[in-house]
Amino acid sequence: MTDILINTPHIAFVYGISPTLLIIMVATALASWIVSSTLKRRFNEYSQIPIQFTGAQIAETMLRENGITDVKVIHTPGKLTDHYDPTKKTVNLSEGVYAMNSIAAAAVAAHECGHAIQHAKSYAWLTMRSKMVPAVQFAGKTLNIFLIASIFGASFFNTPAFLYIWVTLFAVTTLFAFVTLPVEFDASRRALVWLEGSRVSSAMDHDKAKNALFWAAMTYVVAAIGSLATLLYYVSMLFGRRD
């Protein structure tokens, strides 16, 4: 599930790959693979548990019951590509969610509506996240340019001034990753509260919806921790503690 897609390098390279950076890369990649695999497995499992309503119906009902009438529920291609677009005010549901009547589809649809509710209520963390988007997009593009330049051996990579710039840009993307966490967890909380109150699923199915949303949130947690670990590595380089 994605909400605002920012093109930023997951792991960046400066001054080559040290043992410490290699460990961070491998650990982050392994954790991401475990979480992603578990999320897909849970989603596939809970997609086999039918309920009365489709994902689109769940989304439309949740929005209506929360007094939101200016947000459209639309279909978007792909798998687990569900997201809320605050600029167009659309809840975009993927192929496995929009027309499917399963507990997994209900959980995902309700989660994305949670973001729409945050937007309508001017939820502080979502507002901060939205304001950061231009800066994060700039930082991500610039880091990618630097990364490509490093492959061709650009000489300015050996200067302290460059490292200051690199750390500053990477700090922006790391901060964004952490600001995203309360946004995602709050959207899931709103989704679960509504699902429980609406009685569209049994208590057992509610626990499964909670589990699916937990693993979805963990993808953001792993990304944030990996980004922070990489940032701290570059900060240590900045202060002369290179391995």
Distance CA 54, CA 40 (A): 19
From residue 163, how far is each of 105, 188, 228, 232 by CA, in Å?
A: 45, 38, 16, 13
76 CB-near residues (< 8 Å, 6+ apart): 82, 83, 92, 93, 94, 98
Annotated catalytic residues are 112
Measure CA of the first residue to CA of the last residue in the chain; give whole Å: 37
User: What are the strands, taking DSSP E only, across the chain?
Assistant: 72-75, 83-85, 90-93
CA dihedral sign of residues 1, 73, 193, 104: negative
Distance CA 221, CA 32 (A): 10
User: Half-sphere exposure of 24 toward its Cβ, with a 13 Å CA cutoff?
Assistant: 21
Task: Specify burial of residue 197 (Cβ count, 10 A radius: 0-12, 13-18, 19+).
Answer: exposed
Name the region of 123 (left: φ>0; alpha: ψ -120 to 50; beta: rest): beta
